[in-house]
């Protein structure tokens, strides 16, 4: 039986709760995902897209209750496509619980997903490795057992220019191994990075934790300098960073990246460069029902200082600016979303995901849609085990100019798909598109994909 999660029911209030930092609700694009709670962002740039791997906080959690990982991708940093769950606890037969913060790297034509989980046999946290031939998975257990286990968490992987790969992890300590080229074994033993105050800052009030380093390292290299961005202090955490001339140190603490902000007592960094810009991913508790155990991933664009230092980055509801535009004249997945209200996603029988659990007034926002000289019609792939409803094609806002209305019939099942079309007018230039779903009471229909047609695309 289809049921609406707490998050889905509350999403209609999200735009209000996200604060007054934006002039109108329609412009809020952080957090990135509104359909589920997400945490621990791990971005990967591959083939012209950013693939964002996240954890998934279960609804109503009062602890870090996490059973799977989720994946989203974007070509423009604002419209994110939901790829569902590429890996879960069930991937690892030896894992008991705790699908916590991981990272994916691409090497040798494969994608390796390093994650901490609780080993059923020992009861300790261990690092497992999933492998896939595509960034979207599905991932399988590469080893059938932990790669390394010492009870600590938060793996990050970095491949140096020389080809040497390093796996770092740890809370309360900081460890690394030198991965072999197969990415699923290592040489040289398990090494501990000294946590000195010069390297990782001074924590006050804790004799057992003299430095600011807490967890969540993210290691990368830029212009010959090695960066380790990490969750600092506790609790609540902020994001700090250190730099070094080599991948294993010596590290020098450089200061704060993101101060303690938001309604989550943890934070977790991910940093990438994409299409000429630098982006900082993090999580907070900004969605309705959000908090320290029900978190949401967000992103900001930033520029390094001339000397390579990272400026202070603050959380915003605006998020990153759009990097390009979206083409409405090719098939677009309905689960490609800049913002949404009331909707959820689920696996679709025809592949990928669909958007469902739609009630009257729910909507999807797609940002920066390049209609050019004008669209003439709109088509969508839909399914309904109920009476159906209508898709209102609106521009500029959920109650903005009505460009067209498509009627969705009853199809006989939530995965019994048909294509509907309707004429549209006024969809010209580059505008934000809103698909607003209307009808009677209860769930209306599902939508898998959509596409516009036009007489000219210039």
Structure tokens, 66:
């996490």
Catalytic member of 154, 214, 300, 432: 214
d(CA 400, CA 402): 6
Residue among 200, 205, 202 at smallest CA distance from 230: 200
Q: Is 76 a catalytic residue?
A: no
Torsion of CA 305, 306, 308, 311, to 10 degrees: -10
Q: Rounded distance, CA 111 to CA 124, Å?
A: 26
CA 94 – CA 332 distance, rounded (Å): 38
Q: What is the DSSP letter of 328?
A: T
Tokens read off for 277? 């810009």
Judge whether 154 counts as a catalytic residue. no
Q: Are 435 and 448 in contact (CB under 8 A)?
A: no
Residues near 351 by beta carbon (within 8 Å), at least 6 away in sequence: none
Q: Measured in Å, how far apart are the chain's first and last C-alpha atoms?
A: 46
Among candidate residues 40, 82, 333, 354, the one labeled active-site is 40
| Closest by CA position to 69, among listed 83, 50, 79 | 83
* Among 93, 89, 133, 132, residue whose Cα is nearest residue 113: 132
Catalytic positions, written as ranges: 40, 214
């Amino acid at each position: 039986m289809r049921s609406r999660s707490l998050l889905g029911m509350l999403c209609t209030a999200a735009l209000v709760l996200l604060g007054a930092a934006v002039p109108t609700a329609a412009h809020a694009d952080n957090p990135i995902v509104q359909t589920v709670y997400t945490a621990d962002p791990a971005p990967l740039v591959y083939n012209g897209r950013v693939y964002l791997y996240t954890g998934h906080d279960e609804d109503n959690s009062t602890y870090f209750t996490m059973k799977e990982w989720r994946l989203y991708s974007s070509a423009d940093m604002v419209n994110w496509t939901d790829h569902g769950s590429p890996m879960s606890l069930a991937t690892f037969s030896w894992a008991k619980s705790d699908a916590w913060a991981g990272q994916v790297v691409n090497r040798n034509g494969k994608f390796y997903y390093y994650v901490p989980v609780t080993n059923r046999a020992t009861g300790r946290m261990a690092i497992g490795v999933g492998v896939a031939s595509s960034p979207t998975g599905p991932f399988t257990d590469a080893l059938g057992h932990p790669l390394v286990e010492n009870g600590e968490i938060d793996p990050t992987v970095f491949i140096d220019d020389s080809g040497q790969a390093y796996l770092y992890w740890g809370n309360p300590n900081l460890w690394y191994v030198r991965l072999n080229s197969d990415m699923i074994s290592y040489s040289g033993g398990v090494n501990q990075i000294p946590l000195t105050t010069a390297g990782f800052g001074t924590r006050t009030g804790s004799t057992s934790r003299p430095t600011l380093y807490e967890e969540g390292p993210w290691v990368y290299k830029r212009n010959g300098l090695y960066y380790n961005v990490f969750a600092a202090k506790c609790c609540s955490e902020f994001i700090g960073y250190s730099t070094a001339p080599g991948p294993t140190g010596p590290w020098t603490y450089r200061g704060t990246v993101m101060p303690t902000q938001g309604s989550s007592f943890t934070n977790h960094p991910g940093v990438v460069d994409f299409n000429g810009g630098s982006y900082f991913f993090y999580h907070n508790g900004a969605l309705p029902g959000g908090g320290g155990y029900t978190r949401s991933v967000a992103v900001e664009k930033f520029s390094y200082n001339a000397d390579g230092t990272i400026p202070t980055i603050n959380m915003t509801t605006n998020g990153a600016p759009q990097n390009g535009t979206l083409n409405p004249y090719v098939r677009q997945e309905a689960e490609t979303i800049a913002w949404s209200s009331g909707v959820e996603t689920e696996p679709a029988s025809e592949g990928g995901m669909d958007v469902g659990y739609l009630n009257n007034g729910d909507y999807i926002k797609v940002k920066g849609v390049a209609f050019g000289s004008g669209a003439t019609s709109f088509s969508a792939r839909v399914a309904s085990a109920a009476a159906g409803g209508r898709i209102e094609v609106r521009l500029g806002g959920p109650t903005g100019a009505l460009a067209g209305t498509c009627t969705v019939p009853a199809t006989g099942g939530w995965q019994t798909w048909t294509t509907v079309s309707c004429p549209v007018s006024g969809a010209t230039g580059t505008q934000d598109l809103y698909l607003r779903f209307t009808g009677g009471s209860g769930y209306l229909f599902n939508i898998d994909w959509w596409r516009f047609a036009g007489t000219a695309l210039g």
